[in-house]
Amino acid sequence: MKEIFFLIEEAEEGGYIASAIGESIITEADTLDELKANIKEATICHFEEGQAPKVAHLHFVKDEVLSLL
């Protein structure tokens, strides 16, 4: 596997949650820098040695509410 994709969402209590698409990897952190470090660590730990992807794509999801009235 050459790459892995993560959905990044803002947590209700603050910080961020990252969920891998197609793999059971979920991690969270208070800052984006911490989250990136956690994603790297969690991904490396999830795969057997030498099998981890070389690239992680981070897709940021932001929910916004718009009043239509």
pTM of the model: 0.87
Residue 27 has pLDDT above 90, yes or no: yes
In a domain, 67, yes or no: no
In a domain, 45, yes or no: yes
- b (16+ CB within 10 A) / e for 31-59: eeeebbebbeebbeeeeeeeeebeebeee
| The pLDDT value given to residue 64 | 85
In a domain, 66, yes or no: no
In a domain, 19, yes or no: yes
Q: How far is CA 4 from the centre of its chain?
A: 10
CATH number of 40's domain: 3.30.160
How much is the average pLDDT of 20-31?
97
Mean pLDDT of the chain: 95
Share of the chain above pLDDT 90, in %: 90
